Chain A
Amino acid sequence: MNHAKPPSHRAFESDSDAQTAWAQSNPLLLVLASFVAFAAVVSCAVHGFSQPGYALAFGAIIAAGEAFRVRLPGGREAAPLGAATGLAYAVLTEIGHQPALHNAPQAVAVAAFGFLVGSVPHLAVRRPTTLDYTVRRFLMVALTAWLFRMFYLRWVLGTRPDDPVLAKAVSVDQEYLTHHLQSLAVGGATAGFLLLAIVSDGVVGSILQAGQHRRPILAAARDELTFTTRVGLAVVATALLVTLASRTMSIWVLPALCLPLAFTQLALRRFARIKEVHLETIRALSRITEVAGLTQPGHARRVARTCLRIGRELGLSEAQLLDLEYASLMHDIGQLSVAEPVHGGRTAPLSLLRQRELARAGAEVIRRAGALGNAAEIVEHHPDPFGAAGPLPSRILRVANDYDDLAGATPEAAERTEALRHIRLGLAVHYDPAVVESLSRMVGE
């Protein structure tokens, strides 16, 4: 009898199953990243390493940032410190009034080192997370380093920081490089390259998302954009600051700028944690109706899972998906306040009026919670037939709920088909055809 022992957490989403990080990562990206890193290291080995002290400092900060990366709810990951430092090293031109002499392969190799070392702790504890985000960050840094150092500095500006001639000129005239590099145009170009890096990262992210969850690419891109505008801007601004301030402050700029970014990362981490707690609490409390004997065990969570899948496929934004998840977890909460039980907790066979009454009671409870976004509205409108033109999340919830009411907990294939047949009979009058189409795709799998 050890009640007090906290139960092991049962993972709710299938994608957080205890698979290895390797297995969950996109193989194409992984191979590409390995190849780039390998090429960079080989190139460094051939051409030699310049300014190893600076390289080591940057690499260490990248590794630290990676080690303390933040996993945000919804599976995203943020490591502004690592990304910003990597990007800063890629576009660094001058440090402590000396030209930064490293070439593109060296920048890539340092980044690879940092990201790899920073990922070791996560891999060691077999954290069920994907490497995609790390790989994406690395590729972003590699792309920027290549574009900036190979293309811009060497071919457009004609300056080769690793050119001994240039080094000699700088040693003669302290301000040589300043005059040459620290112009508004170069600063602007640097900012442009950094922004380009972030944008390309966003594009890669959208493509990955779209492939993984069968989402429309535009919806995925929109999500990436909302996410990137915040964290991505902080990353770009910090990288730019490091590049600019390192002229005066030399390598000290790194610890100095780490402080605000670490602060950001800390804040993000706390945010992510409380968000996760919140979602978990709602998931758990969605069991209230089950414990009260009002709904079937697991109903709310099954409906939530179905809703999320359909919602992703139909291109709901991430905020909408979260609202939909809240709503689907709590859509039966109205049965608590309506003092008369619904037989079997199944609302599908009830009359529309009764369903609406329950939904309204539930929406009232959710609304009182205050901060659950549009969940209340989704719940309130979910009994509306398709013709009533409720919002899309409500229509999804209606289909998912009715399907689960019909099919039950662990439906056999025949039961699933039967349930789907019943749903299809209400097509276009009661149910949104697009949603039903998505559901039947899901059921068919």
Chain B
Amino acid sequence: MPFSVRCYIFGLVAVALAAIATLPLSRTQLPLLLALCALVLVAERLSRVQIGTSGWTMSVSLVVTLITVLVLAPPAAAIVGLASSVPWPRPPSWTWTKQIVNSAMLSLVPASGAAVCHLAGGHAPGHFLSFPEFLWPSAAAVTTSLVVNGLIIAGYSGLATHIRFVDALRGDLKRATMPYYSSGVLALIFLSLWDDIGWYTAPLVVVPMYIAHWSLSQYAKEGAAHEGTIAALVQAVEIKDSYTRGHSERVARGAEMLAEQLKMPQDRLVMLRFAGLLHDIGKLGVPTRLLTSTGGLTEEEFKLMCMHPNHGVAVLRDIRFLTEVYEGVLYHHERLDGRGYPTGKSGDEIPEFARIIGVADAFDAMTSTRSYRAARSVEQAVAELRRGAGTQFDPALVQAFEAALQLAERSGQPWLPTELVPAEPPQDEATAAAASGPWPLPKRVPGFSFADHDDPFVPVEWFSDWYPSWLEHGAEPGPEDGARPVPELLGGIPGQRVTEPEPEQEAGAVSADFDDGWSERMHSAVVREAGPEPDEGWAWDGGAELGGETELVVAERSEPEAAEGAEAAGAELPPAESVLHQSDADADADADAEAAVVGAEVAPDAEPEPEPPVDPSSRIPVEPENDPGSRVMVEFGAEPDLQIPVEPQPVADRSAFLQHLADLAAAFGSQPEPDPGPDSDSEHEAESEPAKAAEPQRASGASARWPVDPGLRGDPRGSMRVRAATPAAESDPRGSAEPAADFDLRKPVAPCPDMSGSVAGSVVEPTAEGDGPGPVHPPKTGDPEAWTPSPEPWTVPEPSAEASKAAEAADPAEAESRTGSAAGPSWFLRGAGGSSPTLHFFGTGDAAWPPRDPDAKDSEGSSA
């Protein structure tokens, strides 16, 4: 504590003690004094409420204190004030320092008021029967109390905190005036009634004041609830993206700091805080694949990503009171030079909120960990902000933000870079290479992913050649007419339609739990329904959660050669060939190839009956009502009890395949490499540039070092799919996950041949038809997981929360097969390295189906 603050407190206490010490005991009405002390304590106990979120509290005891001021001598008033400062119970933020300051202040305030009242001619017996003469001394006393209160608090704030004295005084007077004069009036009426009619009427005065305080406290509670709700929802949104967890909260804090520095009024500051919290809420409308991919974004994906402010506004548009928040969310990626998105506003056209959030957003992005780098220091980030001032950021705001940072540091709450423990296993070069793939990214912004969309270190110049083109047509669909922008945008982008729903998890769960046929009945009711399938609507196109199939189509559309390769592979080529022809991040095409492999090789021996192939058009944007096959799949999705074991691949095959793979990799290394994009930053170059020398074996060997159970990383789908596909794949979640997932999706668990046919078969035999609804499969009996109907259905299979958690911890595979699959996690999509999945598919380990003991498999796989 600084010396000046000590002196200040000491002085306050000395004056307060002096005021109390002058109490003339002989001339004091002790009963009155004691009664008032008791009254003030009771009032304090019963009615102290919090006003607002600033920690400022109020109580009906103020009325009692002012009564004291009007009837007692200064020393006695000081004693009553001292009694009112007893905290009961102690608030959580209680400290001795605060208590001493409060006690001294609360004694001095009534003492000074009483002194003024006395000087102005109050304090005469029977005084309160002579109206309006008693009004003036009373008014003087109340005003004095108010001002003294404000001065003492402002003095303390000015010395002990960074708030300026004048501001503190103004703020305090603003908040306290209404309560003080209201309470003063009530005190007057109290005394008047007491003298005039009798004591029994006097307590009435407390009721209106109590109600006012109650309303204010409700207001404070509601305000806190409001903010809590928004924060919780934003957290729920951030669940999807581990790197930006807590980002919104920090941006809100940064914006708040900045606004305080700019002396923004309180109500705007609150709004700005909301804007900071909500600025990225539109990320929900962006497919998860984009959020989590670090392999770069294609132009279409980039456009999609640039739509997130519009999505955010689509969520917020109905909130009437948030006009500025709305602007802040929509324009927070605009740049001062007009090269931002979504509209390309420049200069002063960008609303202030958006500029503020832009600065805070970029700053937090720089000072927190990203997948491709550690968090930068505050100094580095500030330097970068300064560099971007004038082009990207408002120079005045950057300056103010620096000042705010310094202020925060001085007041003991410095901005700390957010170091994240990455959600994925640690990488060494080999894994990193495998993850980002040994293939160049011809059409992608290298290293640019959604996680870095705020980061000024990822220069927008990289994609500036795309910029004007998309700005012209991409900026057009705005949120003017509510829900429209999304369909327009997404409709305009080929291949973003979801072609196939993902039914198998739902259906898979059916057999495992309560089922008296009700859910099936409901199910059929929904599916039979005449309305359009939800897939058709725009809302489904966001596809935040939709995994493989969306991507599949994108890949096909955006990179036809990859798809071609995949199909070719499905037809005749050895699998590795197709794998190696692809670009790394095209997990989809990769998966496609894998699926083709499955279709070509496994199907014949694993499934006795030939797969009815499907028209390939069902895989490109299908209007689902024309596609009964997809509905059938909804109904008869994979059921665990119908799983067909995968035959383990012969070892000889596998070694031959490895050899082949190595050859191909060598061949590929000599191939001319497509343009990796105008890459100026060496750091990103290192990151995005494929490690061409990374051989498949090496990559897979490196990745096999992390037998981390993907299920433990909170991504049910990844782990489920890995396990479900090939037990051996578990040793390498990074590399194998995606293709295995697709393998899983396609082949083995489908009870209905149509389903596997409709997905995998379409690649193999595109010309055959047969996408009609398959035969209805009755529920299997005899399966241990299948539930047998019970007379009391609701009592049946609900495991307790603990039990299910324990089960999940013990056996993620089983838990996952219950919960079903999920959208890809970061490693899942990033790990699109083409080689390792294949290795895993043909890997060791008996592919017992379904896997029962994942841990055992893990150790087995890694040891092998």
- Residues on A close to B: CB < 8 A? 1-4, 6-7, 9-10, 12, 80, 182, 184, 187, 230-231, 233-234, 237-238, 240-241, 244-245, 247-250, 252-253, 256-257, 259-261, 263-264, 266-268, 270-271, 273-275, 277-278, 280-285, 287-288, 290-297, 333, 336-346, 348-354, 356-357, 360, 365-366, 368-372, 384-385, 387-388, 402, 405-406, 408-409, 415, 418-419, 422, 425-426, 429-430
| Residue on A nearest B206 in the bound complex, by CB | A237
In the complex, the answer to whether B131 meets A250 with C-beta atoms within 8 Å is yes
Given known A-B contacts A296-B537, A343-B501, A271 and B793 have beta carbons under 8 A apart: no
In the complex, the answer to whether B232 meets A252 with C-beta atoms within 8 Å is no
Given known A-B contacts A263-B182, A291-B285, A9 and B318 have beta carbons under 8 A apart: yes
Interface centre among B185, B240, B525 (most CB of A within 10 A): B525
- The smallest beta-carbon distance between A321 and chain B, in angstroms, is 16
Q: Point out the residues of chain A lying under 8 angstroms from B310, CB to CB.
A: 3
Q: Point out the residues of chain A lying under 8 angstroms from B475, CB to CB.
A: 1
Given known A-B contacts A250-B131, A340-B502, A387-B792, A263 and B212 have beta carbons under 8 A apart: yes
In the complex, the answer to whether B506 meets A248 with C-beta atoms within 8 Å is no
In the complex, the answer to whether A264 meets B223 with C-beta atoms within 8 Å is no
Is B323's CB within 8 Å of the partner chain A? Answer: yes
Is B401's CB within 8 Å of the partner chain A? Answer: no
Is B226's CB within 8 Å of the partner chain A? Answer: yes
In the complex, the answer to whether B797 meets A297 with C-beta atoms within 8 Å is no
User: A371 contacts which of B189, B229, B529, B801 (Cβ < 8 Å)?
Assistant: B229
In the complex, the answer to whether A293 meets B544 with C-beta atoms within 8 Å is yes
Q: Point out the residues of chain A lying under 8 angstroms from B311, CB to CB.
A: 291
- The smallest beta-carbon distance between B785 and chain A, in angstroms, is 12
For chain B, the count of residues having a C-beta within 8 Å of the partner chain is 138
Beyond contacts A244-B196, A351-B513, A371-B221: 7 other A-B pairs, Cβ-Cβ < 8 A, are A3-B331, A9-B320, A249-B131, A291-B542, A294-B544, A340-B820, A406-B529
User: A354 contacts which of B181, B326, B520, B820 (Cβ < 8 Å)?
Assistant: B820
In the complex, the answer to whether A346 meets B526 with C-beta atoms within 8 Å is yes
In the complex, the answer to whether B509 meets A278 with C-beta atoms within 8 Å is no
In the complex, the answer to whether A371 meets B228 with C-beta atoms within 8 Å is yes
In the complex, the answer to whether A6 meets B207 with C-beta atoms within 8 Å is no
Is B327's CB within 8 Å of the partner chain A? Answer: yes
- The smallest beta-carbon distance between A91 and chain B, in angstroms, is 14
In the complex, the answer to whether B823 meets A341 with C-beta atoms within 8 Å is yes
Q: Point out the residues of chain B lying under 8 angstroms from A349, CB to CB.
A: 506, 519-520, 522-527
| Residue on B nearest A357 in the bound complex, by CB | B819
Interface centre among A187, A230, A274 (most CB of B within 10 A): A274
Q: Point out the residues of chain A lying under 8 angstroms from B41, CB to CB.
A: none
How would residues 254 to 266 of chain B score, 1 for a CB under 8 Å from any chain A CB and 0 otherwise?
0000000000000
- The smallest beta-carbon distance between B557 and chain A, in angstroms, is 19
Could you show 5 A-B contacts with beta carbons less than 8 Å apart? A1-B476, A284-B315, A339-B240, A340-B716, A371-B225
| Residue on B nearest A337 in the bound complex, by CB | B239
Is B858's CB within 8 Å of the partner chain A? Answer: no
In the complex, the answer to whether A292 meets B318 with C-beta atoms within 8 Å is no
| Residue on A nearest B223 in the bound complex, by CB | A274
In the complex, the answer to whether B229 meets A252 with C-beta atoms within 8 Å is no
Q: Point out the residues of chain A lying under 8 angstroms from B226, CB to CB.
A: 274, 277-278, 281
A441 to B399, CA, bound (A): 64
Is B284's CB within 8 Å of the partner chain A? Answer: yes
Given known A-B contacts A341-B545, A351-B519, A372-B225, A293 and B285 have beta carbons under 8 A apart: yes
| Residue on A nearest B212 in the bound complex, by CB | A264
Q: Point out the residues of chain B lying under 8 angstroms from A184, CB to CB.
A: 200
- The smallest beta-carbon distance between A245 and chain B, in angstroms, is 5
Is B521's CB within 8 Å of the partner chain A? Answer: yes
- The smallest beta-carbon distance between A9 and chain B, in angstroms, is 5
In the complex, the answer to whether A338 meets B822 with C-beta atoms within 8 Å is yes
Q: Point out the residues of chain A lying under 8 angstroms from B801, CB to CB.
A: 360
Given known A-B contacts A247-B196, A263-B178, A343-B503, A277 and B522 have beta carbons under 8 A apart: no
In the complex, the answer to whether B317 meets A7 with C-beta atoms within 8 Å is yes
In the complex, the answer to whether A266 meets B526 with C-beta atoms within 8 Å is no
| Residue on A nearest B486 in the bound complex, by CB | A291
Interface centre among A187, A245, A292, A338 (most CB of B within 10 A): A292
Is B56's CB within 8 Å of the partner chain A? Answer: no
In the complex, the answer to whether A345 meets B534 with C-beta atoms within 8 Å is yes
Interface centre among B236, B478, B821 (most CB of A within 10 A): B236
Given known A-B contacts A345-B534, A371-B225, A406-B522, A285 and B818 have beta carbons under 8 A apart: no
Is B553's CB within 8 Å of the partner chain A? Answer: no
| Residue on A nearest B799 in the bound complex, by CB | A353
Q: Point out the residues of chain B lying under 8 angstroms from A366, CB to CB.
A: 232
In the complex, the answer to whether A278 meets B229 with C-beta atoms within 8 Å is yes
A4 to B326, CA, bound (A): 7
Given known A-B contacts A349-B526, A387-B792, A365 and B232 have beta carbons under 8 A apart: yes
Is B835's CB within 8 Å of the partner chain A? Answer: no
A2 to B523, CA, bound (A): 43
Q: Point out the residues of chain A lying under 8 angstroms from B189, CB to CB.
A: 241, 245, 249, 253, 256-257
Q: Point out the residues of chain A lying under 8 angstroms from B318, CB to CB.
A: 7, 9-10, 12, 280, 283-284, 287
- The smallest beta-carbon distance between A431 and chain B, in angstroms, is 10
| Residue on A nearest B522 in the bound complex, by CB | A349
- The smallest beta-carbon distance between B511 and chain A, in angstroms, is 9
Is B96's CB within 8 Å of the partner chain A? Answer: no
Interface centre among A278, A287, A294, A353 (most CB of B within 10 A): A353
A296 to B533, CA, bound (A): 10
In the complex, the answer to whether A3 meets B236 with C-beta atoms within 8 Å is no
A187 to B715, CA, bound (A): 71
- The smallest beta-carbon distance between B45 and chain A, in angstroms, is 20
User: A271 contacts which of B219, B503, B798 (Cβ < 8 Å)?
Assistant: B219
In the complex, the answer to whether A285 meets B315 with C-beta atoms within 8 Å is yes
- The smallest beta-carbon distance between A189 and chain B, in angstroms, is 14
Interface residues of B in 147-187 (CB under 8 A from A): 178-179, 181-183, 185-186
User: A266 contacts which of B178, B183, B223, B229 (Cβ < 8 Å)?
Assistant: B178
In the complex, the answer to whether B506 meets A351 with C-beta atoms within 8 Å is yes
| Residue on B nearest A365 in the bound complex, by CB | B236
Is B781's CB within 8 Å of the partner chain A? Answer: no
In the complex, the answer to whether A244 meets B793 with C-beta atoms within 8 Å is no
Is B222's CB within 8 Å of the partner chain A? Answer: yes
Is B794's CB within 8 Å of the partner chain A? Answer: yes
In the complex, the answer to whether A340 meets B519 with C-beta atoms within 8 Å is no
Given known A-B contacts A248-B131, A268-B215, A293-B544, A342 and B506 have beta carbons under 8 A apart: yes
Given known A-B contacts A293-B541, A297-B537, A252 and B132 have beta carbons under 8 A apart: yes
Given known A-B contacts A360-B801, A422-B522, A369 and B229 have beta carbons under 8 A apart: yes
Is B33's CB within 8 Å of the partner chain A? Answer: no
In the complex, the answer to whether B794 meets A354 with C-beta atoms within 8 Å is no
